[in-house]
Structure 1
Amino acid sequence: MPATHPWIAALLAALAAIGPFSIDTYLPAFPEMAADLGATRIEVQQTLTAYMVTFAAMALWHGALSDRFGRRNVILVATSLFGVASLLCAFATSIEWLWGGRALQGMSAGAGMVVGRAVIRDIFDGARAQKLMSRVIMIFGIAPAVAPMVGGALLLAFGWRSIFVFLAVFAGVLVWMSWRFLPETLPPEQRQSLHPVGLARAYRAVFSSVPFLLLIAAVALNFNGFFVYVLSAPVFVMEHLGLGPGSFAWLFVPAVAGMMGGSWLSGNIAGQWTGRRTVITGFVVMFAAVGIGVVHAAVFAPSVPWSVLPVGIYTFGMALAMPTLTIYALDLFPARRGFASSCQSFAQVGLNALTAGLFAPLLWGSPLTLGAGASVFVALGLLCFVVWAAMAKNSR
């Protein structure tokens, strides 16, 4: 398959979808897992933290490894390891065993997302890169809606262990597809050394770049405004909305529809709107969403569809802004796009891990506190973007 083939976006999106599938598919099974393994709800919740901590740590290396050994090789090895880790989770007999399996999943799950972004920038520049990035995000956006529904169906039919068997099969299919269809987009002459001194200098250059840190913080904080709902989904759907374990679609379908719509619009206006206009419009939509959500939660009892519609509006704005912010960040380090993508994922998933372990349990007590938390995240994201824009203007 040539690097510009229309199906390359679908393959890259499927590889990136390993991340949300690893999180969302097993959310409906939390109560059954706790009962089966003799664990508390918080202990089961910490399987998310174990996953995201190792995801963030290894995200620093996926890009560097792909800069050295090539994009395709890293994806093949990491996806194979994810399949093995999924089987370990399927056969867990204690919560500690499950923590270990989830940690191994986290170490390997990020390669598709991290390396995939670098592949896009290897292929295209400018508006064409934004179009492909938006297409990947649009297809990728299906995963959070499909995953909990698949997980709920497997849970009801075969029990919670079947969810991890499904993830292992999913990984196996992606390994075959990547081996068969994924091209290598990084020529050998452009590869970078893994020498410790060179890596140390690269890490220092990236993490001392204030513009880069502001951009990746804006992406991470915006995503966190939605991710807090993902992490709180069992409480939000089953307790606040009073729905059953097969009803997670009420939350995730609007969220994913918004994400796909925002990604579609971002791709279609690429080259017509300036990047800053696109990002600012995304922030306006996100602020409108959290405002509606907070007012509804303060005045009315939780209900469907009204309690979940603001989430869909929010993800529309988030997906509209995200491709442009990501390209701005990667373009700061054109010789090390894989490395820069790793650092972005490290920062984003590190914040997600903190949210999973600390913020989500503090915020999931009511729809009002969830909405207030999302408001704070998007406000901080806007602040980061405004400071970056001011610095970029002054450096001209």
Structure 2
Amino acid sequence: MPVSMPLLAGLLAALAAIGPFAIDTYLPAFPAMGEALGASRIEVQQTLTAYMATYAMMVLWHGALADRFGRRSVIIISMLGFAAASMLCAFATSIEWLWLGRALQGMCGGAGMVVGRAVIRDVLDGAQAQRLMSRVMMIFAIAPAIAPMIGGALLHVAGWRSIFVFLALFSAGLAWATWRMLPETLPEHARQSLHPVSLGRGYLQVMSSVAFVLLAGTLALNFNGFFIYVLAAPTFLIEHLGLGSSEFHWLFVPVVLGVIGGSMLSGKAAGKLSPGRTIALGFGIMVIASAANLVHAATMPPNLVGSILPIAVFVLGMSLAMPSLSLMVLDLFPARRGLVSSCQSFVQVGLNAVSAGLIVPVLWATPLTLAAGMGVFLALGLASFVLWGLLVRVRAR
């Protein structure tokens, strides 16, 4: 059945929000989970790694499965699987069981984001696609702000296990909403084979493309420059800024405002500025924010305004550039948008998983090391985009 663009944007944003909800909602509960399960801070931190490692592995398949069986069925089955995994987390009796539940959540949690991007490009193109992508991001941006607040409230009212019960109900509701409201956007004649040879050729074609690696790398590196603060939030907010477990909104609300602002600017720029200029403007904002973050961390003691405002401005620039970058990646291989979206998510989440397990535990020592980490990831993302531009010019000659 036909679905309105606002309804489609809301549903796709909610499906994409499973990812940040699976990460942000339970962050305030880290100390409580460690105490209840007899686990150290590093062991609790590894529940993030378990989630993102399997997330990165499985996103390589969500898009290929959606290219073969259609968009709706992959989303519905994945959301139901996420609900079951969330209940396993809710009843975990040891940190090992929690690791297992989080790993199973990760296997299902990426379908909404991966397949949702393909749905947008199935139904729209050009400036219209950029506007819908921006609208989805703007609605999706609410998730990181409300997730830790919901988690904090549930923690104080019903304990940390109730957070995973909430995630189970949320994902089951999304499975129902997808079944009822999302039309199938991939016709039968456009579906791709899952034959190992055909599929292998598809993955090889995408992952060996220099243009794909550079554009997907740009997205992943920019996002990771901000995401290290999400991964380090319990230490950054509680230890460095002296906030409580129910005060995570001091970071996430400004970040959401940044995402909303950047997404709105991207939507207004669609059809007026070229994608390249929109991306360049986003990078300019991110460079200013990262420089301010470094200067403040090096010269001033941690405080709410000086430590958090640069992060929000960085996210504004990131969100301005992201819709155009995402569409450019999908358009590299129009016949395999689901698979391309999977590969893009694999690059991004793979980097996030490495950061969660190896990089962030080193960077969270001080606000200055976190600010330096943001600067390094941004510099690498900018270099990747510049190299892509040079590649385009060389091929155009």
Q: TM-score range by the shorter chain?
A: over 0.9
Distance 1:332 1:57 in 2: 22
Shift of 1:112: 0.2
Deviations 1:39-89 (A, max 9, x none): 000000000000001000000000000000000010000000000000000
Paired with 1:392 and 1:187, the residues of 2 have a C-alpha distance of 32
Task: State the distance in 2 between where 1:73 and 1:101 align.
Answer: 23
Task: Please give the secondary structure, in 2, of the residue aligned with 1:381.
Answer: helix
The Cα shift of 1:114 comes to: 0.1
The aligned counterpart of 1:300 is 300
In 1, Cα distance between equivalents of 2:128 and 2:248: 35
Which letter maps to 2:133? Answer: M
Q: Residue 95 of structure 2 aligns with which residue?
A: 95
Who is 2:366 aligned against? 366
**Separation in structure 2 between the aligned mates of residue 255 and residue 65 of structure 1, nearest angstrom:** 33
- Preserved contact between residue 225 and residue 374 of structure 2 (Cα < 8 Å): yes
**Superposition pairs of residues 111-190 of structure 1, within 5 angstroms:** 111-190=111-190
What secondary structure sits across from 2:304 in the alignment? coil
- Contact residue 4 and residue 123 of structure 1 kept, 8 A: no
Question: What is the CA distance between 1:3 and its match in structure 2?
Answer: 4.7
- With structure 1 as the length reference, what TM-score do the two structures score? 0.99
- Secondary structure in 2 aligned to 1:373? helix
Could you tell me whether the CA contact under 8 Å between 2:262 and 2:315 is conserved in 1? yes
Deviation at 1:394, TM superposition (A): 1.6
Letter in 1 for 2:67: D
Deviation track 1:188-216 (CA, whole Å, cap 9, x = no partner) reads 11000000000110011001100001000
Could you tell me whether the CA contact under 8 Å between 1:250 and 1:305 is conserved in 2? no
2: CA distance between counterparts of 1:304 and 1:388?
Answer: 37
Identity of aligned residues (%): 64
The AA in structure 2 aligned to 1:244 is: G
Paired residue for 2:375? 375
Amino acid at match of 1:7: L
Q: Which digits, 9 at most, give the CA deviation of each residue in 1:121-174, with x for residues without a partner? A: 001111111111111111111111110010011001111000000000101111
Aligned to 1:309: 309
Deviation at 1:307, TM superposition (A): 1.0
Q: Is the 8 A contact 1:3 1:123 kept in 2?
A: no
Structure 2 match to 1:222: 222
Q: Tell me, yes or no, if structure 1 residue 348 matches structure 2 residue 342.
A: no
Q: Distance in 1 between matches of 2:341 and 2:4?
A: 20
Look up the match of 1:231: 231
Q: Residue type of the partner of 1:303?
A: N
SS in 1 for 2:93: coil
Q: 1:4 Cα deviation (Å)?
A: 4.8
For residue 20 of structure 1, what is the aligned residue in structure 2? 20
Aligned to 2:46: 46
**Matched residues in 2 for 1:307 and 1:262: separation?**
20
| CA distance in 2: counterparts of 1:320 and 1:126, whole angstroms | 16
Contact 1:131 1:270 in 2 (8 A): yes
TM-score by length of 2: 0.99
Question: Which residue is equivalent to 2:288?
Answer: 288
Letter in 2 for 1:12: L
Partner of 2:109: 109
Whole-angstrom CA distance in 2 between matches of 1:172 and 1:379 = 40
**Paired residue for 1:71?**
71
**What is the alpha-carbon distance in structure 2 between the residues aligned to residue 215 and residue 382 of structure 1?**
10
Q: Residue 7 of structure 2 aligns with which residue? A: 7
Output the CA distance in 2 between the equivalents of 1:277 and 1:3: 32
Q: Quick one: distance in 2 between partners of 1:3 and 1:273?
A: 29
Measured in 1, the distance between the counterparts of 2:303 and 2:156 equals 24
- Consecutive aligned runs of 4 or more in structure 1 exceeding 4 Å deviation: none
CA distance in 1, matches of 2:36, 2:342: 36
How many residue pairs end up in the alignment? 396
1:394–1:4 CA distance, 2 compared to 1 (3 A): farther
Give the gaps of 5 or more residues in structure 1.
Answer: none
Distance 1:6 1:159 in 2: 35
Q: Tell me the amino acid that sits aligned with residue 370 of structure 1.
A: L
Give the deviation of 1:392 after TM superposition. Answer: 0.8
**Structure 2 counterpart of 1:313, one-letter code:** V
Alpha-carbon separation, structure 1, partners of 2:344 and 2:4: 25
Q: Which moved more, 1:289-298 or 1:18-27?
A: 289-298
Residue 305 of structure 1, CA deviation:
2.1
Q: Secondary structure of 2:245's partner?
A: coil
Q: Is the 8 A contact 2:283 2:318 kept in 1?
A: yes
Whether the 8 Å CA contact 1:278–1:324 is kept in 2: the answer is yes
Which secondary structure does the structure 2 equivalent of 1:306 belong to?
helix
Amino acid in structure 2 at the alignment position of 1:212: F
Per the alignment, residue 327 of structure 1 pairs with: 327
Deviates more, 1:6-15 or 1:303-312: 303-312
Cα shift readout 1:316-357 (whole Å, capped 9, x = no counterpart): 000000111111111000000000000000110000000000
Alpha-carbon distance between aligned partners in 1 of 2:377 and 2:138, rounded to the nearest angstrom: 22
Query: What letter is aligned with 2:120?
Result: I
**Whole-angstrom distance in 2 between the partners of 1:394 and 1:324:** 21
Amino acid at match of 1:39: A
